[in-house]
Amino acid sequence: MGVKCPNCENEYKCIGNHWGMSDCPYPTFTKQQKEAVKGLLMGDGCICDESKNPRLKVTNITKEYLEYLNSLFGYFSTGYRVAKTPEESASIEKPNQINNPKVENYSKIYEWSTRSLPELKEFDWYKTGKKVWPDNINLTPTCLKHWFCGDGTWNNSGYRNYISIAMNNESENTEKVTSYFENVDIPTPSNYAKTNGVCIAQFTTDDSKELWEYMGSPPSGFEYKWPKKYQ
The model's pLDDT over 93-103, given as tens digits with 9 standing for 90+, comes to 655 555 666 77
- DSSP 8-state class, residue 134: -
- 24 has pLDDT over 80: yes
* In the chain, % of residues over pLDDT 70: 95
Q: How far apart are CA 160 and CA 188, in angstroms?
A: 18
**What Cα–Cα distance (Å) separates residue 25 from each residue in 21, 91, 114?**
9, 45, 17
Tell me the mean pLDDT in the region 76-80.
Answer: 96
Most confident option among 90-94, 102-106, 214-218 = 214-218
Confidence of residue 77 (pLDDT cuts 50, 70, 90): very high
Count Cβ atoms below 10 Å from residue 43 Cβ, excluding itself.
20
Question: What pLDDT is attached to residue 51?
Answer: 79
DSSP per-residue string spanning 94-127: GGG-SSPPPGGG---EEEEEEPP-GGGGG----T
**CATH fold of 29-122:** Endonuclease I-creI (3.10.28)
Mean pLDDT in the chain? Answer: 92
**What Cα–Cα distance (Å) separates residue 161 from each residue in 123, 153, 183, 202, 208?**
34, 10, 25, 11, 8
**What Cα–Cα distance (Å) separates residue 122 from each residue in 20, 28, 70, 105, 110?**
18, 12, 21, 39, 26
Confidence of residue 107 (pLDDT cuts 50, 70, 90): confident
Angle made by CA atoms 225, 200, 150, in degrees to the nearest 5: 40
Question: What pLDDT is attached to residue 95?
Answer: 56
Q: How far apart are CA 159 and CA 143, in angstroms?
A: 29
- 67 has pLDDT over 80: yes
CATH number attached to the domain at 141-216? 3.10.28.10
The model's pLDDT over 170-213, given as tens digits with 9 standing for 90+, comes to 999 999 999 999 999 999 999 999 877 789 999 999 999 999 99
- DSSP 8-state class, residue 185: T
- 49 has pLDDT over 70: yes
Strands (E), 2-135: 3-4, 11-12, 46-48, 55-60, 77-84, 109-114
Q: Read off φ and ψ for residue 54, nearest 5 degrees.
A: -80, 165
Cβ(215)–Cβ(223) below 8 Å: no
Cβ(189)–Cβ(181) below 8 Å: yes
| 34: nearest Cα among 150, 143, 131, 115 | 143
Answer positive or negative: Cα dihedral of 139, 143, 146, 150: negative
- 18 has pLDDT over 90: yes
CATH 3.10.28.10 location in the chain: 141-216
The model's pLDDT over 148-166, given as tens digits with 9 standing for 90+, comes to 999 999 999 877 799 999 9
